[in-house]
Structure 1
Amino acid sequence: MGGQYRITGDKYPRMRRPRRRGRLVVLAVASAAVLGVAGWGTLQLIDVFSGGGDDPASATGTKAACAGRASPATVRRALPEPGGITVNVFNATTRGGLAKKTADELKKRGFRIGDVGNATKEYDKKVKGTGVLLGPASALNTSLPVLATQLTGAERRTDAARKGGEVDLIIGDGFRRLTTKADADRALTALTEPAPTPAAKKNC
């Protein structure tokens, strides 16, 4: 070419648009971020479905430990036997003979019998339910629950000032008879059987 279009020197003019380096950098960073998020999500899914990514030996050990805790240990309740409980039987009703009859039946069931007779003035003709089981504070979770298996619905009371281990069965107006021996035996068995400890955590 010549004239006014003559090219001089050893450099030639660029015939293409300059690259937009800023846009390329932004696109590269965005792509890397998308790939990173996708990879992290994939790892999370794998972790969920594979049980946390632990090695088999570790997972087996964890399952074994959880299985051991899933079977709750038992703690036997320390309650006295009927033969270790002395019961005083008192009649607070106007019906005669109830105290002796009830005492005789309790004796057949293995309880020791103490005093038998009419209730004191504090309770005489004042017990409207089936009866009152009265004992020292120490009997609340020992002797009284055992005696309660023999008279369903009886009220339990304690006297903090009372000494000794004897308990009273005070017959009330609602009394008809003691709980049947079969039912009383079942209630006593349920009362003395081992109590389970709290169950293992669900997320184990």
Structure 2
Amino acid sequence: MSMLTPPGMGGKYRITGNKYPHMRRPGNGRRIVTLVVAAVFALGLAGWGTVQLIQVFTGDGDTTASAGRKTDCKPGPRPSAAPIPTLKPGQITVNVYNATPRGGLAKAAADELRKRGFAIGKVGNATAAYDKKVPAVGVLLGAPTAVKGSFLVLGTQLKGAATKTDTRKTADVDLILGTGFTTLSPKPLADQALAALAKPAPAPGRC
């Protein structure tokens, strides 16, 4: 047995030359790699936690944070829509004018509006400013105060009518029938529209 043969080899292996072998325990390399990976992961986790804390205290990233969790938002009482003036058809005086070449339309429309509860004023042909110049179903013409009052109520009787204001000081409203007019809205539909004005749908609530 050579003097260079490590003890315990039993003479089975023989070392020649003038260099000693480097004896390492098995698995040391894998242990080092595992420790390095664990350290990198720990540093990354610590960094991510720091960022989250900063976002919590500064208010940043609220959208991202809320996206991953369920909110306990419960809808509270929903505010009502803007109130509608409670005008009744009998409180509105309607002047009915015919701006079409067809005769008898103003009288027929006025009679039907009277049956539906409206007060009727003047009935006749439209003035030169509107005669045969209204291609739509009709125009509601009145004072600026009628926009959020009389126009809304009378508009339930003739769907698609345009609105226009003038300088009058009275509360009456003109219904000028255009060439697109055939008849007033069916009474059941008009009544539904009137009911909707009296009880507007509530506005969506917020969380």
Q: 2:146 aligns to what?
A: 139
**CA spacing shift, 1:192–1:76, aligned 2, 3 Å:** farther
1:173 aligned onto 2:206: no
The RMSD of aligned alpha carbons is: 3.3
1:117 is matched with which residue: 124, 128, 141? 124
Q: Distance in 2 between matches of 1:174 and 1:107?
A: 22
* Fraction of identical pairs, as percent: 52
1:184 is matched with which residue: 172, 186, 190? 190
- 1:128 deviates by 1.4
- Aligned partner letter, 2:177: I
- Secondary structure of the corresponding residue to residue 169 of structure 2: coil
5+ long unaligned stretches in structure 1: 1-29, 53-62
- Aligned partner letter, 1:173: T
Q: Distance in 2 between matches of 1:191 and 1:40?
A: 59
Q: Distance in 1 between matches of 2:89 and 2:174?
A: 14
Q: Distance in 1 between matches of 2:179 and 2:42?
A: 83
TM normalised by structure 1 equals: 0.64
Assess if the C-alpha contact under 8 Å between 1:76 and 1:195 holds in 2.
no
TM normalised by structure 2 equals: 0.63
- Secondary structure of the corresponding residue to residue 67 of structure 1: coil
Q: Distance in 1 between matches of 2:200 and 2:131?
A: 39
Structure with bigger helix share is 1
Q: Distance in 1 between matches of 2:75 and 2:159?
A: 38
Q: Distance in 2 between matches of 1:78 and 1:182?
A: 21
- Aligned partner letter, 1:183: L
5+ long unaligned stretches in structure 2: 1-37, 53-64
Q: Distance in 1 between matches of 2:151 and 2:203?
A: 23
1:46-195 aligned at under 5 Å gives the runs 67=74, 69=76, 71-75=77-81, 77-79=83-85, 80-159=87-166, 161-195=167-201
Deviation string, structure 1 residues 154-202 (Cα, Å, up to 9, x no partner): 111111x2211111000111111111101111222223323423521xx
- 1:119 deviates by 0.8
- Aligned partner letter, 1:103: A
Assess if the C-alpha contact under 8 Å between 1:77 and 1:195 holds in 2.
no
Q: Distance in 1 between matches of 2:184 and 2:163?
A: 16
